[in-house]
Structure 1
Amino acid sequence: MAVKIFFPTSCSGAENGLLIGRWMADHQSVVVLAVLHFPFIPGYVKKYLANLEQVTGLSLSVLGTWSNRKAETDDKTENFLSDLSSIFAHQPWLRMAREASNKFWDCAIDGLADGEEAEIVLVYYDQQKVMLSELHNKAESSEIAGFFDTVARNRPLFAMDKYDEGPIKLTHWQSEGVEASIIVELVKQASVPMCAFLSFLLSVITSITRVLQVKPLSYLWSKLSTCEQLGKRLDSLRLIGSTEAAKDHTLFMRKANTLVSLLLDVILGIVLMSWLYQGNHIGQLADKLLPVADRVAVELQGLLQWLMGAPAGLKMNRALDEVLGRFFMYHIHLWISYIRLMSPFIEVILWYIGLSACLGLSVALSILSDIIALLTFHIYCFYVYGARLYCLKMHGLSSLWRLFRGKKWNVLRQRVDSCSYDLDQLFLGTLLFTILLFLLPTIALYYLVFTLLRLLVVLVQGVIQMTTDLLNSVPVYALVLRLCRPYRLAAGVKFRMLEQQTGKPLRLLMQINSLPYGNVLQHYRLPSSRCYPKDSWGSLCKKLFIGELIYPWRQKGDKQD
């Protein structure tokens, strides 16, 4: 029978004493957590272990004796160590000794069932790394999972050091140096009132925003990326300002990732704001914005004049082409008048928008997306007009095409049924089909041109939105933790053989396999506020062909008109 003994490397140089740990009978393995030193009172030791069991929920006991033969050890000490098995009756009982050569160890196990002889495998592990690690992909009730769980849940045991005053003297990973900082302790103490104040402030802001939930205003706010981003920012602050302690690793990592992502976003926003206000970049941007808008309007007028002629040598319906061209030209004139009216206030508007960058780079990008949507609102109107007209014509042609085949659409049953038509119905259907078919090229050309313009605007907004989602959802804290302390995010363990000799226990070194960066992104990625299109390319092409409105980056909960 093989018995694994997990021994902490920090206890290799410990003085003589007792081994404190847990016996996992299901896996025939021993987890050594600390070495108890002399002098001690057995009653105090048992009481201390009983208190630890109530706190951790794990059964800890004295597993055996530890003898460091590298130090001076006389026969009386050896006999005293051997007699301790009668005081702390634990089965099995370990007898571990470190030889003076510091190369091989003696290890024996007494009290096994049926007097079996055990093949001992001695596994060294770094206690601090194992305690701080969060093991991913752990199988249920596996030996490694039980080992990690045992070390992680015994933090109260590691709070006591051998240099502390008291009846119990222990050696574990803190013997090499207690990690403590007065700054960290002060931050921990100050975090509770700060979170309480933040929660109160957020509750006041939430009560104020409820006034904006009136029906017309709520519909308008739902269409603006800035309002959605501010709502997400409030949710992030509520999570950070929550006074409830993180009970598990997942909630702690989510809070930490949200906090670090928020700080990084705000820092980038402040850098952008400082750049905008240095060198009068806002004034330069305002001076260039009006000529660009005029240039876009002039280009659209030229495009419409080209469509009203003979574009690419195509023969268009003159009357319909003239009506559509003048209709869209009138909208461009309205847009130019609107830009001229707003031109004196553009610099002031940009100045106040630049201040919003202090809330974060994602907020500034959301405002930029809304500005692009407002500046290209006439292109959106052109696309909607063309798509609706084209969709109406396609539906009319499809209905008349079913008339020729003796079919009709059953509205109640939502299916195509057979139907008999008289001569007058067939004549009228043929006349309408011919008119719609000959008018289709003119409308299809306008629809195609304005759809391409709309897709170009949507592509720019999509890039901005993906950048915003990247800032909001990337787990920066988890990535930095994986880079600086890779053992904190463990995907498993590997063993490296150190020494092997006949009659001696096999010595292995356990090392932690870090979680790959791709799995870190997948596991700790923060939830995004947007839903991306689930339509396939074939479905999108079908919608474009029949003239349905497409919103590739529409928000959650929105319905297509």
Structure 2
Amino acid sequence: MAVKIFFPTCCSAAENGLLIGRWIAEHRSAVVLATMHFPFIPASVKRYLSQMEHVTGLSLSVIGTWSHIKAEKDEKMENFLGELSSIFSHQPWLRMSREASSKFWDCRIERMDEDGPEDVVLVYYDQRKLMLSELHSASEHSEIAAVFDTVAKHQPLFAKDKYDEGPLSLTHWQSEGVEGSIIVELSKQASVPLCAVISFFVSLITSICHLRFLSGMPLSFLWNKMSSCEQLGHRLEHLRLISSSEKAQGHHTFMRKANTVMSLLIDMALGIALMYWLYQGNRIGQLADALIPVADRVALELQELLQWLMGAPAGLKMNRALDEVLGRFFMYHIHLWISYIRLMSPFIEVIFWYIGLSACLGLSVALSILSDIIALLTFHIYCFYVYGARLYCFKMHGLSSLWRLFRGKKWNVLRQRVDSCSYDLDQLFLGTLLFTILLFLLPTTALYYLVFTLLRLLVVMVQGVIQMTINLLSSLPFYALLLRLCRSYRLAAGVKFGMLEQQSGKPLRLLMQINPLPYGEVLDTYRLPSNRCYPKDSWGSLCKKLFIGEVIYPWKEEDRKQD
């Protein structure tokens, strides 16, 4: 069975010394983390390794010697490296060497439990990428996961610079971004008072929202139905999350906070850009001036539609009396709505001016307010739909109940089932009369219901597109996508091995590279929870409700999915 040695590429040119790493017995693998140069004191080495073991919680030991022979072999150095195996009694013991005259490496394994020669596979890896990567789609007990975990948990070992003065000198990966580290530390220090201020405002707003006169009926009903209030509450939860003083425990908790921060920043940047566009060139005044003609045009189109329905639409013969009653009823509502718009016309520009200021809270908030404005401006269409749906549903239920009467059936309310029943002659005569009246009035009612349902669905589709855009801004993991784009190794889906060279009698040399996580899995893994607008039922159930005339309320349901 082969023994795999994971060797960092940054140590390929290191001076002679010791191999510092960890032996994974269950996988018969050795992970080399650093090389320790001469001179050193063995007692200092053991003391340093015990300190690292206390910090990381993983066993760290001297697992062998490293010899980089640049010229002819030095017999004294070879003998000295051989004597080190008696000082550091690790089992097994690695003897790795590299000659300048040959591109092949040599590796011997001593003091193995099994007898006989062992096949050696030398795997090179990028220490920096493995340390910063998060491995996905891998078993916790797999060999690759153990290697990733070993390198990541020994990050304190890499904090010691090779140029630091001290009794020990190590070669391992070194970060060259000292100035960047200083900037990061200053940002962390500045974020503490900022988070405290945000947390204070969040608690203040939360306490105001929980006041009795705001949380009682009917205001609580309005807050729950308004898209802008729900989006503000959703963003308030995001601010509470990022201003929390608790340190992020684990990779997913950190990524959720980072994605939330990026989502808020991008949302506010887009909102400020929208606000700048609105207030430049008096576009708010232009929108306010265009609203009244648009409202008049919509009202005129509805009046023409109702006049068409009150005649002979598509050559259909309707019930004249019911057609006149329904037409005049809906015409009266249109006149009321036009009067309401005319009454509000002097204040529309002022309302739009203050609404434009809300864009500084984020583009998603501005879109939510736009959705609420559309709902208010089309409230008469919603009323038409509800009236038509209720009347149509009443007739459908009446026809279904009377149809059961003809078949000698009735609906048992207690048992919630259809039972047999015997009816007398008077009941059958009255049922036949009512069934005939409802059946002949049904086409007129169904036509009004169909027209206003289509208008209502058109409005719902526009609001659905807006809500989908809001959900996209609120749930997209921008930070994870940015990591996948710029530093794909940070989110690893696995590894792949490429063969460097192979020669008889020499170890097989492989190069381990990281496979980045696909974009689809990035979205599925790190997507943020959001407020979603969706029907509770399936498409079949939804079509059934539309057919029998039940009113569909496309209110937004909160997505309870937690990462």
TM-score computed with the length of structure 2 as normaliser: 0.97
Preserved contact between residue 15 and residue 67 of structure 1 (Cα < 8 Å): yes
Q: Is the 8 A contact 2:69 2:100 kept in 1?
A: yes
Q: Is structure 2 residue 94 aligned with structure 1 residue 81?
A: no
Q: Using the alignment, how far apart are the partners of 1:73 and 1:276 within structure 2?
A: 77
| Counterpart mapping for 1:251-270 below 5 A | 251-270=253-272
**Cα deviation 1:395-448 (Å, max 9, x = unaligned):** 000000000000000000000000011111111101110111111011001000
SS at match of 1:103: coil
Residues 102 and 360 of structure 1: CA distance in aligned 2, closer, same or farther (over 3 Å):
farther
Which amino acid is the alignment partner of residue 254 of structure 1?
R
CA–CA distance in structure 2, aligned partners of residues 204 and 72 of structure 1: 76
In structure 2, the partner of 1:378 is: 380
Instruction: Give the Å deviation of 1:25.
Output: 0.5
AA aligned opposite 2:478: V
After TM superposition, give the deviation of residue 458 of structure 1 in Å.
0.2
The worse-fitting range, judged by mean Cα deviation, of 235-244 and 524-533 is 524-533
Matches within 5 A, 1:8-407: 8-70=8-70, 74-101=74-101, 103-174=103-174, 180-211=180-211, 212-407=214-409
Residue 477 of structure 1 corresponds to 479
- Bigger drift between 66-75 and 102-111 goes to 66-75
Q: 1:448 to 1:45 in 2, by over 3 A?
A: same
Percent identity over the alignment is 79
The structural deviation recorded for 1:71 is 6.1
Matches of 1:192 and 1:75 in 2, distance apart?
Answer: 59
Q: Deviations over 1:246-292 (max 9, x none)?
A: 11110111111111111001000000000000011001100101100
Alpha-carbon shift at residue 313 of structure 1 (Å): 1.2
In the TM superposition, residue 173 of structure 1 has moved relative to its aligned partner by 0.8
Structure 1 match to 2:540: 538
| Deviation, structure 1 residue 530 | 1.7
Q: Distance in 2 between matches of 1:357 and 1:195?
A: 22
2:502 is aligned, of 500, 503, 507, to 500
For structure 1, the residue ranges without an aligned partner over 5 or more in a row are none
Query: Would the aligned equivalents of 1:10 and 1:176 in 2 still touch at CA under 8 Å?
Result: no
Secondary structure of the residue aligned to 2:100 is coil
Letter in 2 for 1:427: F
C-alpha distance in 2 between matches for 1:94 and 1:39? 20
Q: In the aligned structure 1, how far is the partner of 2:218 from the partner of 2:73?
A: 86
CA 1:439 to 1:176, structure 2 compared with 1: closer, same or farther past 3 Å?
A: closer
C-alpha displacement of 1:188? 1.6
Deviation at 1:532, TM superposition (A): 2.2
Alpha-carbon spacing, 1:426–1:105, altered in 2? closer, same or farther (3 Å): same
Change (3 A) 1:71 1:354: farther
1:8–1:33 contact (8 Å) kept in structure 2: yes
Task: Report the residue type matching 1:506 in the other structure.
Answer: L
Aligned residues of 2:227 and 2:368 also touching (Cα < 8 A): yes
Q: Which amino acid letter does the alignment assign opposite residue 62 of structure 1? A: V
**What one-letter code is carried by the residue in structure 1 that aligns with 2:548?**
I
Distance 2:9 2:283 in 1: 60
Q: Which residue of 2 aligns with 1:415?
A: 417
Separation in 1 of the partners of 2:176 and 2:344?
A: 69
Q: What secondary structure does 1:91 align onto?
A: coil
CA distance in 2 between counterparts of 1:333 and 1:18 reads 91
Structure 1 residue 459, shift from structure 2 partner: 0.4
Question: Does the 8 Å contact 2:234/2:530 carry over to 1?
Answer: no
Tell me the amino acid that sits aligned with residue 171 of structure 1.
T
Aligned-partner residue type, residue 171 of structure 2? T
Give the secondary-structure state (helix, strand or coil) at the position aligned to 1:215: coil
> After the TM superposition, which segments of 4 or more aligned residues of structure 1 sit over 4 Å from their partners?
175-180
1:405-444 → structure 2 map (5 Å cutoff) = 405-444=407-446
In structure 2, what residue type is equivalent to 1:344? P
CA distance, structure 1, for counterparts of residue 102 and residue 527 of structure 2: 46
